[in-house]
Structure 1
Amino acid sequence: MSRLSLAALTVIAVLLSGCGKETMPEPSASTCAPDAFQKFMSELRDEANRIAFADACKSFNKAKSMRDWEFKPSPADDF
């Protein structure tokens, strides 16, 4: 194997490995809870990931609040 092809394979391997790419946590009840949310926000270094995570948690909490409901009976009729 020539030095050029070995160098090319090394460069390709480094590019494909995704070095330094941080992953955003999945929005869930445990990651979007206020204390956990602040912890994950402080751990994210990339501003785009912070914004995406905040938006995902906001959407998750909005959907959760729409699913949670409580039966409220109508007031009694007084004819």
Structure 2
Amino acid sequence: MKKTIIISLLSAAMMTSCFTTGDPRDGGIFWSPSKADARIGQLNQTNNEAMHQKQKAENRNKRLKAEKVRELNTY
């Protein structure tokens, strides 16, 4: 009986030291919805920044193409 209690207490202590994760690829033992929400927010922010950079690059590309056409038409 005493051995069972000690094993139970040690198991509980070990489980509290396990880390939580919000990333299923991270390998954490316990799932944390708040960490998952924070991760999703960060991923959305990164995606928005990438989309903004893409739009800037597309606009620059259009501008440079128009400039090239104007240069070719002046000769």
- Give the TM-score, by structure 2 length: 0.37
Determine which structure has the larger helix proportion and give its number.
2
Higher relative contact order (CA 8 A, sep 6+): 1
Larger C-alpha radius of gyration, 1 or 2?
A: 2
Determine which structure has the larger strand proportion and give its number.
2
- Give the TM-score, by structure 1 length: 0.36
